[in-house]
């Protein structure tokens, strides 16, 4: 019997990986499951993107290894995208690193900057990968609270009172998942000042800025941000391309070169047609986002009705691809989610998987048709 590596001792299988097995088994047994659990866009990518992908398949060299830093055209498309949508100027040769989705970037950044025993500030609630990767590299997760009273934003004054001498990275994620908080310019400016004062690398994970949000923002716009901040971004949600595995990391040349040392030893470039397709997506105009958001808004209206029928109270002013709602008093998120799954065959995500501050919440995904959300409402009302 070969024992697993010690680094896996604290790491569990990703919640959705195991829970979706249960959900699939129920579906295979004939249960009509309505999936409001996971944020995997069900809508198609822009048609132009599919054409660009297909055309690129027959390009000379399309099937060879590609540059480690992505093609020059894809990096230029990313630079144009950051300029057009966030008013952030990036040097496509030095300040942009294409990634296979932002999730892989979380691992690469952690491997590139963290030593065993270093501390990492992680939001509670937050995307579970920040914690598991921190454990994988032998660093220590130090959770900071996000809560409704603080508008789901970090209390940097409180944090500054703590011993931060071992903290090397702080993960932030605005627009926030799972809470739907938007973040704002002054938060980003305060974060940059905090990073400088405590010599911490801040990484903003920014995959949701175009979903139900009229005012997309990048932390890189804050003055002096590039020196101390990295930003992850992704085409998964913005362009319905989650299965393509394509995203990007932006920041200073020095920090990106550090990440590149890890990445060049992990993969050998991304398939050329994916990069060509992604570049064409990034060059679409804002009409693409408006058309998607009309659909998401209709769905959100229905999910809010569903939440009401379940006596759940959604947070106000949320943006992004989910609805984060408080469950009725006296119930646990795990029990409530299992009850919805077993009794009504409706799958939702329990807030505790994002951390202890999510224990009284559930997360509804907007990646389901209006018709299915309507059917879910009918099941409850019945």
Ligand X SMILES: Cc1ncc(COP(=O)(O)O)c(C=O)c1O
Residue from 207, 251, 314, 350 binding ligand X (CB under 6 A): 207
Find out whether 59 and 236 touch, Cβ atoms under 8 Å: no
Taking contact as CB under 6 A, which single stretch among the options 97-105, 153-161, 263-271, 305-313 is the one that binds ligand X? 97-105
In whole angstroms, how close is the CB of 105 to ligand X at the nearest point?
8
**Between residues 177 and 225, which has the closer beta carbon with respect to ligand X?**
177
Closest approach, Cβ 6 to ligand X, in A, equals: 26
Contacts with ligand X: how many residues (CB under 6 A)? 13
Residues 6+ apart with CB under 8 A from 360: 326, 327, 333, 351
- Cβ of residue 156: shortest distance to ligand X, in angstroms? 20
Output phi, psi for 249, to 5 deg.
-125, 135
Which residues between 240 and 269 bind ligand X (CB under 6 A)? 242, 247
Residue 234 interacts with ligand X (CB under 6 A): yes or no: yes
- The per-residue DSSP string of 137-201 comes to TT-EEEEEE--GGGTT---HHHHHTS--TTEEEEEE-SS-TTT-----HHHHHHHHHHHHHHT-E
Using only the alpha carbons of the chain, give its radius of gyration.
21
Which token pair is 38? 């996971």
Q: For residues 136 and 260, give the distance between their C-alpha atoms in angstroms, rounded to a whole number.
A: 19
- 36 contacts ligand X (rule: CB under 6 A): no
How many Å apart are CA 334 and CA 337, to the nearest integer?
A: 5
**Minimal distance, residue 234 CB to ligand X, in Å:** 3
289-314 burial: b if 16+ Cβ within 10 Å, else e: beebbeebeebbebbbbbbeebebeb
Lookup: tokens for 324: 């984060």
Does position 101 interact with ligand X (CB under 6 A)? The reply is yes
Q: What is the DSSP letter of 90?
A: -
> Rule CB under 6 A: is residue 205 a binding residue for ligand X?
yes
Binding map of ligand X across residues 154-183, x = CB under 6 A, - = no contact: -------------------x---x------
Window 40-79: residues binding ligand X (CB under 6 A): none
Q: Which is nearer to ligand X, 134 or 234 (CB)?
A: 234
Please identify which residue in 19, 75, 103, 108 interacts with ligand X, judged by CB under 6 A: 103
The Cα 38–Cα 61 span in angstroms is 36
If one asks whether residue 275 binds ligand X (CB under 6 A), the answer comes out as no
Q: Based on the shown chain and the rule CB under 6 A, indicate whether residue 127 belongs to the binding site for ligand X.
A: yes
- Please give the residue ranges that form the binding site for ligand X (CB under 6 A): 39, 101-103, 127, 173, 177, 205, 207, 234, 236, 242, 247
């Amino acid at each position: 019997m070969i024992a697993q590596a010690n680094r896996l001792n604290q790491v569990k299988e990703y919640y959705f990986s195991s829970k979706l097995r249960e959900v699939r088994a129920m579906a295979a047994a004939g249960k009509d499951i309505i999936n409001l659990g996971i944020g995997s866009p069900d809508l198609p990518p822009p048609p132009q993107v599919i054409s660009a992908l297909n055309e690129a398949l027959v390009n000379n060299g399309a099937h060879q290894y590609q540059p480690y830093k992505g093609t020059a055209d894809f990096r230029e498309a990313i630079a144009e995208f950051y300029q057009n949508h966030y008013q952030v100027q990036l040097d496509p040769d030095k300040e942009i690193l294409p990634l296979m989705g932002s999730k892989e970037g979380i691992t690469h950044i952690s491997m590139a900057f963290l030593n065993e025993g270093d501390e990492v500030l992680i939001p509670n609630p937050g995307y579970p990968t920040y914690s598991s990767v921190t454990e994988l590299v032998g660093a220590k997760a130090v959770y900071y609270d996000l809560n409704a009273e603080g508008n789901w934003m970090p209390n940097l004054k409180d944090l500054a009172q703590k011993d931060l001498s071992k903290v090397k990275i702080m993960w932030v994620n605005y627009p926030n998942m799972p809470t739907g908080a938007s973040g704002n310019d002054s938060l980003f400016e305060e974060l940059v000042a905090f990073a400088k004062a405590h010599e911490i690398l801040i990484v903003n994970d920014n995959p949701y800025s175009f979903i139900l949000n009229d005012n997309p923002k990048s932390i890189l716009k804050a003055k002096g941000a590039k020196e101390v901040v990295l930003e992850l971004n992704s085409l998964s949600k913005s362009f319905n391309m989650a299965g393509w595995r394509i995203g990007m990391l932006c920041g200073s040349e020095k920090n990106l070169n550090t990440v590149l040392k890890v990445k060049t030893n992990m993969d050998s470039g991304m398939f050329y047609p994916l990069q060509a397709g992604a570049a064409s997506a990034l060059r679409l105009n804002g009409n693409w986002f408006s058309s998607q958001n009309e659909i998401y808004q209709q769905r959100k209206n229905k999910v809010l009705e569903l939440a009401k029928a379940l006596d759940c109270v959604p947070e106000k002013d949320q943006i992004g691809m989910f609805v984060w709602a408080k469950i009725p008093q006296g119930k646990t998120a795990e029990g409530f989610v299992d009850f919805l799954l077993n009794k009504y065959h409706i799958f939702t995500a329990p807030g505790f998987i994002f951390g202890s501050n999510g224990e009284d919440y559930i997360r509804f995904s907007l990646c389901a048709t209006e018709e299915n959300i309507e059917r879910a409402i009918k099941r409850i009302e019945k």
